[in-house]
Structure 1
């Protein structure tokens, strides 16, 4: 039994689909029995609150104990910094204490960037760095057959002396070659929410990685500036299924940058125009300013309502220090706000606050810049 564990990350009612674990489940389907435990989803143990760490650990132990003796057992955990890390530590420690022979593997942003630190913990045996689908299958095969752990791509592990070994990351699998997500195996109604986009909003991720190397971003370690994307036809097929089977009327594209390829986005917009969806995505300001007016019109017709972008700072010097790359500038952030105003699309900008050498001055300058952006966004056409 492979137990896939998604630690707590958000308040009840806001939980997105655990897409990374569902991608692992998809490659396990038909090969290994699996179950998914999402600490963000309300259960019979806690109908009106989040599960406690003890309840989550007990649930994982119970699932692992259900496996027949001749069946492989493995706990696979996805971990981001913040709430997920805070829960993953005590829960995995408790599982190790209850079931010391069950291997525990961590993957995701935090262990990819901090594999040595993670493997210093007695309750983590392996770390999968970067894309995990192929690596998980290889790890399971190695544990079952005794094949050398050194053959598992992207695996970090400890040898007999306790020395940490980092296997090279292999070439990632193209996303269109991966199987469809097992939506029927998760409680979909608990992942559909009323938002500003629609009554039944779902999360989707159509790409992996990012070609840029911003100094503050964990995606750099995860993808090493590689970007893989689902084809527009694949995205359309998935969204059409979600509309037909689950009544979805809005989608949030959780890609690290959905808008990297204008040709892909333009075809995607054309394909989904008649699905009646509203949608949101994340993209770079300089990339979106290079989009043609024809593509912008097509995106709006297809249901684009809001775009999240990292403006980061009011200072071009600071943007350079962040290695933001491209043609990023504070002026472009203002220009994009005006452009989205013209198309009726809401700009959603993020900023990094309190940067050295003078954090207070940076705060004041950033807040003033935010006020300028809001002024431009509200200025009459």
Structure 2
């Protein structure tokens, strides 16, 4: 049996390529290989990665990856599939996943197509009702459900016995089997085998995704699953049920050692929703890499918890282990908004953490979200002011997105601010929906103003001797620190120039139209 797992192309507003290995598909492929040995053949087709560096213009959007029907047919035909799996994690990329499914069903009408991922999980019934070319949906955690689906297709199980599976019955009714219990021991899953993909290809482009990375090449890992919090804008609680499960550190250490020794990786990007969850675990993690002296760096995409402000020893230990940047998901500088989004964060503690981290030599950053339904312009400007008055090195401003499966989506629907239509290419970098207080255009303008003015603000900020010596100077301890800071500065300048050129070209295009 030949199983092909596909990462679709995407359509977005930004032409830059952000690429990392498809870790979810790699994990599924590795698990199937462990369970079935030689009884099945598993391969990964990353359509997004296949033409990295060659985005194609499509109106005011860009197609990243292969979306040509004939090319997709050629690539998939090499693998002679008996089962096709398509990843569908983000709501904004759902259209592309369906497009690939429709194309493949045309060429292989008798081959079952299964979808999985966050978005597919949250609207499984609707996908099956509206799209005859999708046969199965795997909800939530995928490994065991996919294994049992394969067994059912081989005649070893009935479809009705596979927990976590939604499917179309012979009479066209939609069957949603009971949810599957989560895997209690993540160490029963094998270490993801990067041999399923061409890591050299991802190494070449990964620096563009993690553009603040200190060392290259970069690879990603997950050391845990789930998050115990209940932020209204996040669907994680509906995928993992607010349950945090961690892999054993011995297995994590082994995976990192493989990435370093076999693939030459020099920076590990941790994708956990909550890496800094259990203090003892982080101490053990840091001690291991301090002792091993592997000369690698660590970063954490989802951010760091503010309670670190109360533990100077752990902050110091993380720095010695290779963590060099602390990013905090602050989200808002307004207490009323923080209460609305149910973010367990204390702004005083956040300011304390930023100050301590700077003095220990960390680069500091934060995520902020504006445009929640009831948020006023004044409250939004409180968030911008908080960021600009802080000691942060970097601030990333996003416009709130009501993604399906989140409580925020339900609120937007209740207030008639969103319908069921999914806008192609929607993602966190651009707002598409009005709030009750402001239009999407005005929200995007504030985001552009806050993001666009940051570089100038920080240059002026660091020119003050007190700020230079207390905040910037502690970051420079080795020659590599100077090289890193120069590369960051140069990258920000380049991005600013690109923004100005893009703005100028759009203005000229507008004049021509007029």
Is 1:51 equivalent to 2:65 in the alignment?
yes
Normalised to the residue count of structure 1, the TM-score between the two structures is 0.89
Match of 1:3 in 2: 4
By how many angstroms is 1:134 displaced? 0.6
RMSD: 2.3
Is 1:265 equivalent to 2:279 in the alignment?
no
Of the structure 1 ranges 353-362 and 198-207, higher mean CA displacement relative to structure 2 is found in 353-362
Are the equivalent residues in 2 in contact too, given 1:285–1:309 (CA < 8 A)?
Answer: yes
Match of 2:269 in 1: 252
Residues 309 and 168 of structure 1: is their aligned pair in 2 closer, same or farther, counting only changes over 3 Å? farther
Task: Tell me the number of residue pairs that the alignment of Structure 1 and Structure 2 aligns.
Answer: 370
Q: Once the two structures are superposed, what CA deviation does each residue of 1:22-55 show, in whole Å capped at 9, x if it has no partner?
A: 0101111124201100122235xx8845433125
By how many angstroms is 1:342 displaced? 2.0
Residues 320 and 245 of structure 1: is their aligned pair in 2 closer, same or farther, counting only changes over 3 Å? same
Residues 308 and 166 of structure 1: is their aligned pair in 2 closer, same or farther, counting only changes over 3 Å? farther
Match of 1:118 in 2: 127
**Between structures 1 and 2, the one with greater helix share:** 2
Are the equivalent residues in 2 in contact too, given 1:209–1:256 (CA < 8 A)?
Answer: yes
Is 1:160 equivalent to 2:160 in the alignment?
no
Match of 1:316 in 2: 335
Match of 2:26 in 1: 22
Q: In structure 1, which of residues 305, 326, 338 is the aligned counterpart of residue 355 of structure 2? A: 338
In structure 2, how many angstroms separate the alpha carbons of the residues matched to 1:18 and 1:74? 19
In structure 2, how many angstroms separate the alpha carbons of the residues matched to 1:154 and 1:309? 34
In structure 1, how many angstroms separate the alpha carbons of the residues matched to 2:202 and 2:66? 20
Match of 2:179 in 1: 169
Unpaired runs of 5+ residues, structure 2, are: 56-63, 395-461, 471-514
Q: In structure 2, which of residues 41, 51, 67 is the aligned counterpart of residue 33 of structure 1? A: 41
In structure 1, how many angstroms separate the alpha carbons of the residues matched to 2:392 and 2:72? 50
Match of 1:70 in 2: none
Residues 117 and 321 of structure 1: is their aligned pair in 2 closer, same or farther, counting only changes over 3 Å? same
By how many angstroms is 1:183 displaced? 1.7
In structure 2, how many angstroms separate the alpha carbons of the residues matched to 1:287 and 1:130? 30
By how many angstroms is 1:222 displaced? 1.0
**Aligned pairs (5 A) from 1:67-86:** 67=81, 73-82=82-91, 84-86=93-95
Normalised to the residue count of structure 2, the TM-score between the two structures is 0.67
Q: In structure 1, which of residues 201, 205, 216 is the aligned counterpart of residue 222 of structure 2? A: 205
**Aligned pairs (5 A) from 1:75-154:** 75-82=84-91, 84-120=93-129, 121-145=131-155, 147-154=157-164
Of the structure 1 ranges 80-89 and 234-243, higher mean CA displacement relative to structure 2 is found in 80-89
Are the equivalent residues in 1 in contact too, given 2:9–2:66 (CA < 8 A)?
Answer: no
Unpaired runs of 5+ residues, structure 1, are: 68-72
In structure 2, how many angstroms separate the alpha carbons of the residues matched to 1:167 and 1:181? 28
By how many angstroms is 1:59 displaced? 4.4
Are the equivalent residues in 2 in contact too, given 1:112–1:221 (CA < 8 A)?
Answer: no
**Aligned pairs (5 A) from 1:235-314:** 235-273=252-290, 274-281=293-300, 282-290=302-310, 292-314=311-333
Q: In structure 2, which of residues 193, 202, 219 is the aligned counterpart of residue 191 of structure 1? A: 202
SS of 1:106's equivalent in the other structure is strand
Is 1:221 equivalent to 2:231 in the alignment?
no
In structure 1, how many angstroms separate the alpha carbons of the residues matched to 2:174 and 2:357? 49
| Bigger radius of gyration among the two | 2
By how many angstroms is 1:361 displaced? 2.7
In structure 2, how many angstroms separate the alpha carbons of the residues matched to 1:287 and 1:167? 40
By how many angstroms is 1:172 displaced? 2.1
Q: Once the two structures are superposed, what CA deviation does each residue of 1:294-349 show, in whole Å capped at 9, x if it has no partner?
A: 22111111100123332111122222221224xx1233332221122122222321
